[in-house]
């Protein structure tokens, strides 16, 4: 019989450790130690593992587009674990559709979230079911997840840029010119699948060459070169950027700016590596002297090892200790 045993050995002395290593967090001039099991317990809220806790209901108009931070999850009932789940789900589903409400719930996982449950009605046609009945679980943002667009794009004078009436008019004309009437995703074949099918055809029939695969998802160059479309694009560029705008010069300038920024980042990283060589990081960590260094000095190590630089001094020290395996 094969028996697996796990042991921990001290890097400094080579002695066999009697206890599993623990992590710690400095707090109020003291070191608070945590075992792996305790850390796992801290990260989990009680009685919330992988379940939904209903908090209440809100009108659908309270749910905004910017509340959807990531792809939603589609949920539907099952009586396999708890009998009666389907009946309760259907009752809620019908009431939410009738009243135009969504459910606000707490979704407990290792990374818990507030979620909105939006009911979807079943849609069927003569060919069968188009959309199944169920609910979309939308992961709602926290207050610090939402950032003001105006703050990011505000000019130096504190005023956010606004489009003029002429710019809006030319943009509307451009959109109308390139409007895809009767658009449907069913009109376009998946180019990756078509290449796969072509390879299967060559292999099965013993052909020598791959058939030409037309990628219908690429821009319609012929359509975009029509005189009416070209005129609408030029008018939009003139309205937004001005008559003296040179696209090629702007691209060169932007490319040069990106290259300069990359060179500066590389120079900073190289300087951090050189400065960091003068420190014995392992010795500083073992003797608890990292806290005596300045934030700038701590960032030498973090920058040299491509680690995040954000956080307070204690966070930076913990990040270094974790990277050193201390």
Band of the pLDDT at 105, cuts 50, 70, 90?
very high
CATH, domain range 165-241: 1.10.1600.10
- First vs last Cα of the chain: how many Å apart? 35
d(CA 225, CA 244): 22
Task: Summarize the chain as % helix, strand, coil (round to 5).
Answer: 45, 15, 40
In a 13 Å sphere around the CA of 55, the CA atoms on its Cβ side amount to 13
Residue 172 has pLDDT above 90, yes or no: yes
Q: What residues does each domain of the chain span? A: 8-43, 51-145, 165-241, 259-324
Mean pLDDT, all residues of the chain = 82
**Which one has a higher pLDDT value, 102 or 108?**
102
Q: 50 pLDDT band (50/70/90 cuts)?
A: low
Between strands 123-125 and 51-59, the pairing is: unpaired
Question: Does residue 207 contact residue 280 with C-beta atoms inside 8 Å?
Answer: no
Is the domain covering 51-145 a CATH 2.40.290.10 domain?
Answer: yes
Query: What pLDDT is recorded for position 251?
Result: 59
pTM confidence score: 0.42
In degrees, rounded to 5, the angle at the alpha carbon of residue 86 between the alpha carbons of residues 84 and 90 is 125
58: number of Cβ within 10 Å: 13
Average pLDDT of the residues in 87-94: 92
Q: pLDDT tens, 304-319? A: 888 888 878 888 888 8
Residue 148 confidence (pLDDT) above 70: no
Mean pLDDT, rounded, for 102-112: 84
Each residue's pLDDT tens digit, 258-298: 666 777 777 777 777 788 788 888 888 888 888 888 888 88
Q: Please, which pLDDT band fits residue 69 given cuts at 50, 70 and 90? A: confident
């Amino acid at each position: 019989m094969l028996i697996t045993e796990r042991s921990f050995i001290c890097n400094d002395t080579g002695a066999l450790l009697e206890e599993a290593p623990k992590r710690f967090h400095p707090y109020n001039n003291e070191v608070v130690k945590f075992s792996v099991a305790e850390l796992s317990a801290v990260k989990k809220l009680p009685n919330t593992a992988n379940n939904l806790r209903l908090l209440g209901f809100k009108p659908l108009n309270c749910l905004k587009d910017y509340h959807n931070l990531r792809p939603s999850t589609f949920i539907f009932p099952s009586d396999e674990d708890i009998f009666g789940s389907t009946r309760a789900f259907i009752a809620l589903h019908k009431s939410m559709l009738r009243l135009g409400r969504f459910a606000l719930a707490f979704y407990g996982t290792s990374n818990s979230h507030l979620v909105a449950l939006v009911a979807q009605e079943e849609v069927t046609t003569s060919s069968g079911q188009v959309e199944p009945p169920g609910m979309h679980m939308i992961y709602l943002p926290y207050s610090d997840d939402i950032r003001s667009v105006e703050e990011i794009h505000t000019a130096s004078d504190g005023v956010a840029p606004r489009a003029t009436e002429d710019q809006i008019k030319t943009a509307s004309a451009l959109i109308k010119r390139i409007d895809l009437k009767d658009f449907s995703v069913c009109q376009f074949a998946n180019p990756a699948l078509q290449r796969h099918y072509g390879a299967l055809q060559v292999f099965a029939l013993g052909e020598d060459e791959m058939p030409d695969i037309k990628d219908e998802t690429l821009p319609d160059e012929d359509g975009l070169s029509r005189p009416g479309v070209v005129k609408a694009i030029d008018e939009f560029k003139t309205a937004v950027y001005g008559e003296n705008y040179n696209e090629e010069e702007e691209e060169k300038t932007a490319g040069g700016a990106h290259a300069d920024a990359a060179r500066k980042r590389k120079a900073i990283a190289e300087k951090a590596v050189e400065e960091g060589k003068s420190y014995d990081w392992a010795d500083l960590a073992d003797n608890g002297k990292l806290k005596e260094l300045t934030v700038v000095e701590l960032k030498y190590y973090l920058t040299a090892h491509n680690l995040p630089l954000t956080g307070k001094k204690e966070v930076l020290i913990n990040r270094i200790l974790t990277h050193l395996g201390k």
